[in-house]
Amino acid sequence: MTAPELLETTIAAIATPPGPGGIGIIRISGRRALTILQLLFKPHRLQSAAPADFSFQSHHMYYGWIIAPESNEPIDEVLAVYMRAPHTYTTEDVVEIQCHGSYLVLQEILAQVFSAGARPASPGEFTKRAFVNGRIDLTRAEAVIELIEARTRPGLKLATAQLQGLLQQKIAAIRESLIGLRAVVEVAIDFPEEDAEIIDPASMQHTIAQEAAGPLAAMIASADQGKIFREGISVVILGRPNVGKSSLLNCLLKEDRALVTPVPGTTRDTIEECINIKGMPVHIIDTAGIRDTDEIVEEMGIERARAKLAAADLVLMMLDASAPLTAADHQLYASIKRENATGKRLLLLNKTDLKRHADFDNKIDAFGDDPLMQISAKTLAGIEELTETIFKMMTGGSGEWDPGSTAVPNLRHKDALNKALAACNRVTSGLQNNLPPDLIAIELQAALDHLGDIVGETTSEDVLDIIFERFCIGK
Ligand SMILES: Nc1nc2c(ncn2[C@@H]2O[C@H](COP(=O)(O)OP(=O)(O)OP(=O)(O)O)[C@@H](O)[C@H]2O)c(=O)[nH]1
Ligand SMILES: [Mg+2]
């Protein structure tokens, strides 16, 4: 949808989640918002007055009833607020109606709002309007989704910092110095005879390094950390049947989530749950024990386990310390290395409460240099150390990191930052090799455009659609 078309219409949606609740909110934005409210709302103080005669003061809450205009039937007792443009979420006229939190009531009121001239809002359309109308840049719009979706405190702090504009300001500062450099280069293009005096390559290189390439590289370096706290990590527990994988899942969740029995092959499907380790969301996946089988259901489960293996950030390879090591253990370990070459690995010797089998003193070296921990999913020995180790392995031990104080890019930003950095590096090498100023100007512009993508100035419509589709309706 183009910007003018987007802004012509008045949109409405239920802004609260489905299902019964204390209150439910309907949100309306656009030119007809006030007219719609005047048509549907009957203020309590003016029972007898025609609703349209009543005039709303901006940003004031009014108590009254929503009535169906055709039948004059009351629908619900509500609080309503009209917020006049431009000091609103979307910068347009906005109306919010707070009614009782019944989905039927909300639907009924919404239907009246549509009949009165609004159309249904698409996901994220209120925030998209705030962006298109220039109240917030794209990084702040993205922060709104992150704030809603955050699962842990550090994730929330990252989102809040971004909503406050930390990332936008950092990008703006880098752009400002690149624009300064581009101005110098343009003068040199206009006065070709004097370009050697206008451009001072050493000082330009210094500015690029200090004010653009350096800060860009630092932001890129923090992106992986940000991803860990925003999206979390995926940890898959693998091992042959009966080694205690489901028991470990239950220990970590502190509840009896998965069935545990002495029968090998108990778990058939993958079971996925999320825990919070010091603010890091950890998606733990228990899998079917891997072995050769002709049994169709078990085979399907093993296939699923293998698929999870490929995508895991960390694989917990579990062994039963009370039983001999088997060929199956070795084969599985080899396939973990083969099918997930990039992820991290941790070997877990489980059942250490039982008598340890002699193999584990003699043959465990075959499992290479991967870190090894001894645990008991029965007595819980070593479980706390295990969560501590997972945290350290995934964060590089950066327990002191303060997510609220830095601008941490997401993957989309990281990609654009990398491209901007590459363009800056081309500027530097161009200066070193005395390339003509027009070629330097092209690279400076490329860096500026990639940074423009981050804040939404040069972002394509497709990318915008992808971003706003992630929102819920009503936001
Ligand atoms: N003594 C002892 N027994 C354990 C320990 N962990 C698990 N078990 C027992 O080992 C058996 C198998 O445990 P599960 O957690 O079902 O093993 P699994 O790896 O999920 O097995 P499958 O789903 O069949 O692949 C159960 O009888 C558990 O009670 C442990 O640390 N010590
Ligand atoms: Mg199991």
pLDDT tens, position by position, 228-244: 888 899 999 999 999 99
d(CA 243, CA 361): 18
Residue 458, pLDDT > 80, answer yes
Q: How far apart are CA 351 and CA 361, in angstroms?
A: 15
Q: Tell me how far the alpha carbon of residue 350 lies from the centroid of ligand 1, in angstroms.
A: 9
> Is the CB of residue 431 less than 8 Å from the CB of residue 207?
no
* pLDDT on residue 292: 82
End-to-end CA distance of the chain, in Å?
18
Distance between CA atoms of residues 53 and 388, nearest Å: 65
pLDDT tens digit string along 324-350? 999 889 999 999 999 998 889 999 999
Rounded to the nearest whole angstrom, what is the distance from the C-alpha of residue 208 to the centroid of ligand 1? 58
Average pLDDT (130-137) is: 95
- In angstroms, what is the span from residue 365 Cα to ligand 1's centroid? 24
Structure-token pair, residue 10? 């008045």
Residue 66: predicted pLDDT: 97
Q: State the number of CA atoms in the 13 A half-sphere of 227 facing the CB.
A: 15
Give yes or no for residue 260 CB within 6 A of ligand 1: yes
pLDDT tens-digit profile of 27-67? 999 999 999 999 999 998 765 555 556 789 999 999 999 99
Amino acid present at 337 = K
Q: Cβ(10) to ligand 1 under 6 A?
A: no
Q: Which of 247, 259, 360, 386 to mutate to test the pocket of ligand 1 (most atoms within 8 A of CB)?
A: 247
Is the distance from the beta carbon of residue 301 to the nearest atom of ligand 1 less than 6 Å?
A: no
Atom of ligand 1 nearest to the CA of 242: 21
Which residue owns the Cα nearest ligand 1 atom 30? 351
pLDDT surpassing 70 at residue 386? yes
262 touches ligand 1 (CB under 6 Å): yes
State the pLDDT at residue 5. Answer: 55
Does the pLDDT of residue 425 top 90, yes or no? yes
CA 81 from chain centre, in angstroms, equals 31
Q: Which of 115-119, 260-264, 316-320, 362-366 has the lowest mean pLDDT?
A: 362-366
Distance CA 177, CA 430 (A): 18
Q: Which atom of ligand 1 is nearest to the CA of 350?
A: 31
Distance CA 220, CA 217 (A): 5
Residue 130 structure tokens: 């705030």
247 close to ligand 1 (CB < 6 Angstrom): yes
Contact 378 CB / ligand 1 (< 6 Å): yes
Residue 173 pLDDT: 96
Query: For a substitution probing ligand 1, which of 237, 240, 242, 245 has the most ligand atoms within 8 Å of its CB?
Result: 242
Q: Is the beta carbon of 413 within 6 A of some atom in ligand 1? A: no
Supply the pLDDT for residue 473: 83
Residue 261 near ligand 1, beta carbon < 6 Å? yes
Q: Ligand 1 centre and the CA of 259: distance in Å?
A: 10
Peptide bond into 86 cis (omega under 30): yes
Tens of pLDDT along 219-232?
998 888 888 888 89
